[in-house]
Structure 1
């Protein structure tokens, strides 16, 4: 690859990142229907033609944002095996989801709006990749249950509960801020994570790993 080609690739990657960041902000604020390519371009500080050079349509741009979100949500739990400690794996998964709610709340809000609207842009993903991921995680949890490592909890409901609890801190951050009287800081998220881990693992008959235990006062 020539030096000029490397420079072009670098500029292209940088522009795509700028556009995706701008699109995430716009879609989170206005949704898919309420967002225009021009709004994304203005947010990115680029001409509209530049945005359309990398993403031919608004839907293509929106799908790219959704795919970035799903990639972002990849976690250590994706690689869990029947030989792993369920307490450690579930606790780490909850912690990772909580950290993403803290650092990338817009991605969660866009995903939530997509699901609420019937997931019209995620049908292929849900029918294939997401369903395959779910089946794999359900199988692992059932194996832990069969081997006596944890209480017989329906894996689907367990995962739904983890998603609902962790993503709540991103999707309903305004409500949380108003009810608490202050925006949650990093330390608040860490404390909330410990409580969520404790609630979830206790319900599964699992001991809470030491690093997630709530300090007694």
Structure 2
């Protein structure tokens, strides 16, 4: 029996259904906790300003209809879409749905316990992630073979083709913002380019790392 390398063991672990659910639980817990931070301290939400403002309007005026309707609708659509195309849209399903939609629904019903402290928020987010992950895997297993991944290559191709042109723009923007962020962006982009990866990710990570140290 051939002995597997560490990389092969990691790949095998990441391809398990249980691992997907664990990852969703962790992401959902963090995002829900971010919303808790926003409600308590005014910062920390993982979302676009316009979408967070819907929640802010509900907190200020007591009407959560806009946030709940918009964000929860996104969540349902993305959960149904994920198993069919093979990609889970983190922005629509978790950041918008779990981070804004579900909190708005809970607050509209007067349920405030998940927002009383950070532990409650983390546990609530993890439970939500567990349910979402189980639903997605369940749908994927029920879909007939040959149907489940029909749109994956199209979505991945479109994302990569568009994203690769953003690298130089991100580097220029980082240089305009701050010299350290610019240097980090250049170094990160160059490393990713050398490794054959999309330089956009390297430019963003480089700017964030040096920016965190020197800003």
TM-score by length of 2: 0.31
TM-score by length of 1: 0.31
Larger RCO of the pair (alpha carbons < 8 Å, separation 6+): 1
